[in-house]
DNA sequence: GTCTATACGAAGATAGAC
DNA sequence: GTCTATCTTCGTATAGAC
């Protein structure tokens, strides 16, 4: 399978962007990490680095929204949110606070806003769906989902700066209370 | 005054980082934007680009926390928060959604976590002080301040990606309700 | 303190063979 | 599809004169 190498490159790009950022990740890094053949970069990605970044963002958007949907439970409004927060907690801990969100890296450094907006939107939609199913009013669920995505992305940045999980813990505590109140649960 | 050029370079770096990121901003860009003399870069910043970035982050941290303190009113718990959010709203609108937070840019791209943690900490402390003065319990005020900083930083990213103020508006609405409840106000 | 010139090292992208 | 070699651009940093 030759397009296997292609997919590995996309995944490696997403992985490396988290720690080194967009400009800080060279093609050679992606090649080294993915084990993909060097000569086929522009065969698979004629649009160059921008195309690779766009697909990495799309991959991250799809991957995490699928995770949120899988963790959604009608009877537990915070289950999906906890899964979402738990994912970021793991990224931080596993990387010793060196890695963050690849979508954020691309948003800050490049002008690929379309792909980033799509990824953020997918996460928000997945969370909002879960909150609505748990009893929140649809409009409120949308606002809460935006708050959750925003707060988690921001807290991840604070955690990296502080080399500590404290900011994410604080945010988690506040968000869970807020969500339970919005879903009419005790 | 010769150290005037130095300060202009720091401010220009902070300004340019918001839009182009850390790696995307070259010394030549800082020179062009600040009008500072080219030959004095390493005279003023012997530590090179890393030192310039560190001082730019420090400058941003000091600048915004001073703004929050100035806007703090004992009788209005959301006044300082509104000022903080309003600052970011203005950055987004004035730049046509191309600019964000310089501290975030440095956090994502470089390893200057100390300076970034200090900046985030100053903002949080300034906000927490205002919330405490307005009636929130100290421990709660700290958690809320962390949530506010996180959510605003994240929302700014979402706004840039979406080229829209909607995420920040959603976050603002949720945060103001939460703050008023925490301060025992109606 | 400020200048010019340059060394040095990436990194993205392309060309053409296999 | 994949390889190697190379072009080109750019940016940090240094050296040394004024």
B25 CB closer than 7 A to any strand D atom: yes
Q: What is the pLDDT of residues A113-168, one digit of tens each?
A: 999 999 999 999 999 999 999 999 999 999 999 999 999 999 999 999 999 999 99
Provide the pLDDT for residue A186.
Answer: 46
User: What distance in Å separates the CA atoms of residue B77 and residue B132, rounded to the nearest whole number?
Assistant: 9
- CA torsion A37-A39-A41-A44 (nearest 10°) is -90
Q: Model confidence over A93-115: pLDDT tens digits?
A: 999 999 999 999 999 998 999 99
Q: Total domain count for chain B?
A: 1
pLDDT band for position A74 (50/70/90)?
confident
**Nearest beta carbon to residue B146 from set A150, A152, A170:** A170
- For residue B185, pLDDT over 70 is answered with no
What is the share, in percent, of chain A residues with pLDDT greater than 70?
A: 98
Residue of B45, B108, B136, B53 whose CA lies nearest to A154: B108
Distance between CA atoms of residues A163 and A93, nearest Å: 9
Burial class (CB in 10 A: 0-12, 13-18, 19+), A111: exposed
β-bridge partners, B73: B76
Closest CA to A56 of A87, A95, A26, A17: A17
pLDDT > 90: what percent of chain A?
Answer: 94
Whether B33 is in a domain gets the answer no
Q: Share the mean pLDDT of chain B.
A: 96
B2 pLDDT higher than 80: no
Confidence of residue A185 (pLDDT cuts 50, 70, 90): low
CB < 7 A contacts with chain C (nucleic strand): A 25-28, 39, 41-42, 48-50; B 2-3, 5, 37-40, 43-44
Query: Do B81 and B155 touch, CB atoms closer than 8 A?
Result: no
Instruction: Report phi then psi at B36, rounded to 5.
Output: -75, 155
Q: Which domain CATH number covers A59? A: 1.10.357.10
Q: How far apart are CA A26 and CA A32, in angstroms?
A: 10
**pLDDT for position B172:** 98
Contact assignment for A150 to B149 by CB distance below 8 Å: no
For B107, the domain range is 54-182
Report yes or no on B67 lying in a domain: yes
pLDDT at A2: 56
- How far apart CA B123 and CA B83 sit, in angstroms, is 12
Quick check: B147 and A175 CB within 8 A?
Answer: yes
**Residue A185: exposure state from Cβ atoms within 10 A (0-12, 13-18, ≥19):** middle
Rg of chain B, C-alpha, whole Å: 17
Residue B186 has pLDDT above 70, yes or no: no
Residues 18-57 of A with CB under 7 A from strand D: 37-40, 43-44
Contact B108, A108 (CB under 8 A): yes
For B59, phi and psi rounded to 5 degrees? -60, -45
B103 within some domain: yes
Using CA atoms, how far apart are residues A59 and A65, in angstroms rounded to an integer? 10
| B76 domain-assigned | yes
pLDDT over 80 at B51, yes or no: yes
């Amino acid at each position: 399978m030759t397009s296997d190498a292609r997919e590995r490159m996309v995944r490696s790009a997403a992985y490396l962007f988290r720690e080194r950022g967009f400009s800080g990740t060279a093609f050679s890094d992606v090649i080294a990490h993915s084990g993909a053949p060097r000569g086929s970069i522009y065969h698979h990605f004629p649009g160059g680095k921008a195309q690779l970044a766009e697909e990495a963002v799309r991959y991250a958007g799809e991957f995490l929204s699928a995770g949120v949907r899988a963790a959604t439970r009608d009877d537990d409004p915070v289950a999906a949110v906890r899964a979402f927060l738990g994912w970021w907690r793991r990224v931080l801990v596993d990387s010793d606070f060196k890695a963050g969100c690849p979508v954020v890296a691309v948003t800050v450094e490049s002008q690929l806003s379309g792909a980033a907006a799509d990824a953020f939107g997918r996460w928000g939609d997945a969370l909002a769906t879960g909150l609505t199913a748990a009893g929140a009013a649809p409009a409120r669920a949308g606002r809460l989902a935006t708050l959750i995505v925003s707060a988690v992305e921001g807290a991840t940045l604070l955690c990296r700066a502080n080399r500590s999980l404290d900011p994410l813990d604080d945010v988690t505590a506040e968000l869970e209370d807020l969500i339970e109140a919005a879903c009419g649960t005790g």
